Amino acid sequence: MPRPQYNRRMATTLRQSKNFIGGEWVDAASGETFESTSPADGELIGVFPKSGPDDVDRAVSAAREAYEHWRLVPAPKRGELLYRFAQLLVERKDEVTDLMTHEMGKVAPEAGGDVQEAIDMSYYMGGEGRRLFGQTTPSELRDKFNMSVRMPIGVVGAITPWNFPIAIPSWKIAPALVAGNTVVFKPATDTPALGQRFVELLDEAGIPKGVVNIVHGGGGSVGERLVRHPDVPVITLTGSRDTGVTVMRNGAENLKRIHLELGGKNAIIVLDDADLDLAVNGIVWSAFGTSGQRCTAASRVIVHEKVLGELSSRLVAAVEKLSLGPGWEDETDVGPVINRAALDKIHSYTKIGVDEGAKLLTGGETASDGDLAKGFYYRPTIFGDVEPGMRIAQEEIFGPTTALIPVKDADEAIRVSNGVRFGLSSSIFTQDVNRAFRAMRDLEAGITYINAGTTGAEVHLPFGGTKDTGNGHREAGQAALDVYTEWKSVYVDYSGTLQRAQIDNA
């Protein structure tokens, strides 16, 4: 199927961008700026305000003031605004997709999928405006009515990464808004133009002044102040484990509600009865889609020893056919990684793997021939003869690298899959229903796929992981609302007398 044809330059017109605070587009208090450039070819995308604590304080003040009005807007009306926002994303999907191929580097079909996730999430959470279910229960006393309701909390600080620069903001901001909270949004400094476009479309949809604010800048100056600010009771972060630990520590003094989505070291299990053609397709998509820059990427492939040789040869052949290049070119299968630091880190793990005794089957080098030298490209890399305890099998690389780990049976495969500190996504390829159900029960992960790869999520189910992947909260589905609401229990006594609790009447 031919890829959709986009206007390649429609979204990358250079302009001086600003923060959005209290419904106004304003410069950083310092007057300083930083640049966003394309990882594909070094193109200058835009210039953005290099904000600091004073800018965060202004944004929080605006959000706190707006909260007193927004929390009283009926939830169905809050949901209608999200519908309008979703429709604007539908209308501008090609434009935002094109911008993503330039600023973040995703290939066009994946970038379009990123935008589609935001569309789906906004429609889904818009519908929650007519639900936001609580509970009613029978009372233990006569003439008394009991119920629980969801209440908004206040100002939400949303700190988002660069790898899903439209989808992940929607995962955080849409449920926060429909629940009645206001937002201060700090997008990643690698993808500020996409964060800016997100907020511009919310503004166009009619978001009231101060309900959503965006402050551009680094984690040390903007993110830390947001996390420590006493008037921001909720922080939601997607990032690395180390960053998550720091955020929890810095938010502890004010007993903030901290929602963390952190790392992954996901595995695909391929058993001896697997459909190998299907498994290879799943591995290629899971390990090398988005250049491996996904928290759900399959950086481990745990293979039954009976099919290891066949799977390995098929996988290497498939990967060596992948084409590297800018995401806006139709023939590109794998785009750049996000920046020079990422490129250096990925390559350092290739050396680590070789030093540990793993066998480099393909890739393992920077791609710098021709126009690829203008960007940050790494050739898709596969290691064989990997032992479960090796660093390349334990540590998150966040690049186009995967490791083949041989096992003797299904039980060993599950033990190896579980033998890491993370627990986000898991997968098993098998045609045995009994093995599949055991895997569904025993794999220690927030997500399990049967006969599919480790990537992809549907917005109406919870997304998140176990162990060091997070701190127990979830994105998406109704579970996301638990991050952005407090439960209130309400009792209505219509007996006309003072009734004590049933326990006091014993």
H-state helical runs in 136-178: 167-178
Integer Cα distance of 337 and 40 in angstroms: 8
| CA–CA distance, 80 with 82 (Å, rounded to integer) | 5
Q: Which residues of 396-406 are buried (b: 16+ CB within 10 A; e: fewer)?
A: bbbbbbbbbbb
To the nearest 5 percent, what fractions of the chain are helix, strand and coil?
40, 20, 40
- Residues 28 and 102: their CA atoms lie apart, in Å, by 25
Cα distances (Å, whole numbers) of residue 109 to 49, 98, 101, 255, 331: 30, 10, 9, 42, 11
- DSSP letter, residue 304: E
Instruction: Name the DSSP letter for residue 4.
Output: P
Q: Which residues pair with 271 in a beta bridge?
A: none
Torsion 383-385-387-391 (CA) sign: negative
Active-site position among 80, 103, 110, 295: 295
Residue with tokens 């993503």: 100
Helix (H) or strand (E) holding 407: strand 401-407
**Local structure of residue 478 (DSSP, 8 states):** G
- Indicate the pairing of strand 425-429 with strand 447-450: parallel
List the end-to-end C-alpha distance of the chain, in Å, as a whole number.
73
Q: Quick check: is 65 catalytic?
A: no
β-bridge partners, 292: none
Q: Which residues contact 373 (CB under 8 A, 6 or more apart)?
A: none
Q: Is residue 110 annotated as a catalytic residue, yes or no?
A: no
Q: For residue 491, give the 3-state DSSP assignment.
A: strand
DSSP state letter for 266? E
Q: Does the CA dihedral 69-75-78-80 come out positive or negative? A: negative
Q: Exactly one of 261, 320, 365, 412 is catalytic; name it.
A: 261
Alpha helices in 229-275 (DSSP H): 241-252
Residue type, 238: T
Determine whether 323 is exposed, middle or buried from the number of CB atoms within 10 Å of its CB (0-12, 13-18, 19+): exposed
CA geometry: angle 122, 127, 133, nearest 5 deg: 125
Q: Which two tokens stand for residue 144?
A: 């008394």
CA–CA distance, 235 with 257 (Å, rounded to integer) = 6
Q: Which residues are catalytic?
A: 261, 295
